[in-house]
Chain A
Amino acid sequence: MTYSIQGREGPWEVVVGMEVHAQVISNSKLFSGAATKFGAPPNSQVSLVDAAFPGMLPVINRECVAQAVRTGLGLAAEIHLWSRFDRKNYFYADLPAGYQISQYAHPIVGSGSLAIELPDGTTKEIGITRLHLEQDAGKSLHDQHPSKSYIDLNRAGVPLMEIVSEPDIRSPDEAGAYLRKLRTILRYLGTCDGNMEEGSLRADVNVSVRRPGEPLRTRCEVKNVNSVRFVMQAVEAEAKRQVQIWEEGGTVEQETRLFDPGRGVTRSMRSKEEAHDYRYFPDPDLVPLVLEKSWIDSLSAELPELPDAKKTRFMTEYGLALYESSLLVAESGTADYFESLAKNRRPKTVANFMLGDLSAALNRMGESFSSATLFTVAASAALLDMIEDGTINGRIAKDVIEEMERSGEGPRAVVERLGLRQVTDTGAIETAVAEVLARESSKVAEYKAGKEKLFGFFVGQVMKAMAGKGNPALVNEVLKKKLS
């Protein structure tokens, strides 16, 4: 079951650790009062602190600290009541001060863990090494001018949490599962929106390979991978590259690489080639960050139920299977939708409906459970209740959903307008059955000769004759009687 890369001389194990940069949800920046909204006009969300003007000084945003603490708690991690900000010194066009304020020696959050689910239904703990707060850099645009790069400092100073995992990940699937799970937890906590397209969540993937049982070999860091799929592809591509180098008698150099999704390979970042010496030292503009235990406790008390706890509860409280539960808790909006709908309804039916026809419809509309505009909880409730009280049958429900998408009407309006109420009049059913049996006399003979699986065929024909509106139970009952 363990993933390995088959080399010429046997299998290679893949060892992966991840550093994820998650943008903290906050109104203003980590050390300045400028806004953090995505997509603002260039340099419109920049304070003179962000632009590192002479004499400008950082003042920390309490909410960003709270968000880091919440995230730490959500990762079952140790919260450090004493932490400190250090400067990481390097020159870059979009790093205005010539240093990034980060937490190097004393991060706010220490070790924790996160459980990922493997395809075989088992779970695996991935260790979290640390989480620290730091500033984002600005943005350079290299494609706007033939000989110039443009600098936009809107992102400069935006709060980030850098979440570092232990090298516990052993396959592309595990890497993907880790990132998905981390994103789920961050979204549950409301500490990061997890939007990878907008750069709110970026992964640096550290990959090395070794023969089973060996100590760790040199790792390479694949920087700024911006989707779960690319993370999985990058792990595989980079591991294969390293296996090939080792097997050819070469040596893997420790370096920073980039994943090229178009070609499915990683390549060296030449611009980062120069040996870095970041000269970390405590930022003298900031004194140590000292937190009250009581504050941590109050943040802990306000923490929402997290996906793993919710999943277990869904299984015990609603009697759902592990698989259904996992799918329903993947987004807190989906879980909330389920719980609203499952009130006074059969949880199993609700789960099936949500994960089946409803998910398909939302997909087609490009919506999610939390953003649903047409298939609101109320609309779904009406639909489920019509099935339950026999107004429509399950098959018709599918048609109702499609018609709702077309017309934008509510479910009851669609059923009324198209006359989709199911037929429970035994006389009408008996007429339809008689017609079908008369038409298919040869099949009736075969059935009576013992080919019993033709029963389904007769049901289908009767439902077709009744435009799908026959009450399935009654149709079965009448057919059984007439065929015996």
Chain B
Amino acid sequence: MTLAPETVRRIARLARLRLEESEVQRLEQELGGILAWVEQLGRVDVSNVEPMTGAVAMALKMRGDIVTDGGDAETVLGNAPERIGDFYAVPKVVE
């Protein structure tokens, strides 16, 4: 099984990953191979099985509505590849 090149490109676009043409070709094979391999799950009867979304069975714990964080733009911006004043900066987005 191989994945169609346009499928590889479509999901790469969704994932915002730039791929070289050679990578696309390799991934058609590799992803196709992995998908063919996981097809074996088709043999499992899962009727009436509830999906397991996490490994811990408990209810969500809730915190109080108090301000305990923020107020430190320097820390928040300290790792930014580009900042202007107290903003992150990115190439202009046209709406």
A adjacent to B, CB under 8 Å: yes
Beta-carbon contact of A289 and B59 below 8 Å: yes
Q: Do B91 and A147 have beta carbons less than 8 Å apart?
A: yes
Bound-state CA distance A41–B87 (Å) is 10
Kindly supply a per-residue 1/0 record for chain A positions 126-160, scoring 1 wherever the CB is within 8 Å of any chain B CB and 0 otherwise: 00000000000000111011111111110000000
Chain A residues with CB below 8 A from B65, complex form:
26-28, 61-64
B46 near A: Cβ within 8 Å? no
18 other A-B residue contacts (CB within 8 Å) besides A33-B66, A51-B76, A142-B92: A27-B67, A33-B69, A42-B86, A43-B73, A43-B88, A44-B73, A48-B75, A49-B69, A53-B79, A59-B61, A59-B62, A61-B62, A62-B64, A63-B64, A146-B92, A147-B92, A148-B89, A282-B54
Q: Does A287 contact B (CB under 8 A)?
A: yes
B52 to chain A, nearest CB (A): 10
8 A–B contacts, CB within 8 A, in A order: A28-B65, A32-B70, A53-B79, A140-B93, A142-B93, A146-B92, A287-B54, A288-B59
Residue of B66, B71, B79, B88 with highest tally of chain A CB at under 10 A: B88
The reply to whether the CB of B60 lies closer than 8 angstroms to some CB of chain A is yes
**Which chain B positions have C-beta within 8 A of A64?**
65
Q: Whole-angstrom distance between the alpha carbons of A46 and B78 in the complex?
A: 13
A151: chain B residues at CB < 8 Å are 87-90
Distance between Cα atoms of A362 and B14 in the complex (Å): 54
Q: B residues within 8 A CB of A282?
A: 53-54
Is B92's CB under 8 angstroms from A33's CB? no
Residue numbers in A under 8 Å from B43 (CB-CB) = none
Closest to B73 in A: A43
Closest Cβ–Cβ distance, residue A299 to chain B (whole Å): 14
Option from B70, B73, B75, B93 in Cβ contact (under 8 Å) with A33: B70
The answer to whether B60 touches A145, judged by C-beta atoms less than 8 angstroms apart, is no
**Do A34 and B87 touch across chains, with their CB atoms under 8 A apart?**
no
- B39 CB, min distance to chain A CBs, angstroms: 20
> Main secondary structure on chain A at its contact with chain B?
loop
Chain B: interface size category: 35 or more
Give the residues in chain B near A60, CB-CB below 8 Å: 60-63
| C-alpha gap A470/B53 in the complex (Å) | 81
Q: Does A65 contact B (CB under 8 A)?
A: yes
Contact across chains for A149 and B59 when beta carbons are under 8 A apart? no
Q: How far is the CA of A62 from the CA of B61 in the complex (A)?
A: 9
Counting chain B CB atoms within 10 Å of each CB, the highest count among A53, A153, A282 belongs to: A153
In the complex the two chains form, is B67's CB within 8 Å of A145's CB? no
Taking the closest CB of chain B, its distance from the CB of A68, in whole angstroms, is 12
Contacts known (A34-B69, A93-B93, A148-B92); A141 close to B61, Cβ less than 8 A: no
B60 touches A287 (CB 8 A): yes
A35 adjacent to chain B (CB < 8 Å): yes
Q: Which residues of B contact A35 (CB under 8 A)?
A: 67, 70-71
A65-B62 in contact (CB<8A): yes
User: Would you call B41 an interface residue if the criterion is a C-beta within 8 Å of the partner chain's C-beta atoms?
Assistant: no
Closest-by-CB residue of A relative to B64 is A62
B44 within 8 A of A: no
Given A46-B76, A142-B93, A287-B56, residue A62 in contact with residue B63 (CB < 8 A): yes
CA distance A50 to B69 in the complex (A): 10
Do A42 and B67 touch (CB < 8 A)? no
If A60-B63, A287-B56 touch, does A271 touch B95 (CB 8 Å cutoff)? Answer: yes
A271 touches B93 (CB 8 A): yes
Shortest distance between the CB of A72 and any CB in chain B (Å): 17
| B70 close to A62 (CB less than 8 A) | no
- CB-based contact B71/A28 at 8 Å: no
Query: Does chain A have a CB within 8 A of B49?
Result: no
Q: Is the CB of B93 within 8 A of A59?
A: no
Chain B residues with CB under 8 A of A51? 76
Assess whether B48 is interfacial by the CB under 8 Å rule.
no
Partner of A42, one of B60, B69, B87: B87
Asked whether B84 is an interface residue with its Cβ less than 8 Å from the other chain, the reply is yes
Residues on A with C-beta less than 8 A from B68 are 28, 33
Q: Which of B16, B70, B84, B88 contacts A47 (CB 8 A)?
A: B70
With an 8 A cutoff between CB atoms, is B58 at the interface?
Answer: yes
- The chain A residue sitting closest to B53, CB to CB, is A282
Residue of A nearest to B76 (CB): A46
| A residues near B93, Cβ cutoff 8 Å | 93, 140, 142, 149, 271
Residues of B within 8 A of A145 (CB): 84, 89, 92
CB distance from A284 to the nearest CB of B (A): 6
From A61, A140, A271, A290, give the contact of B59 (CB < 8 A): A290
Asked if B81 lies at the interface with its beta carbon under 8 angstroms from chain A, I say no
Q: What is the bound-complex CA distance between A63 and B67, given in angstroms? A: 12
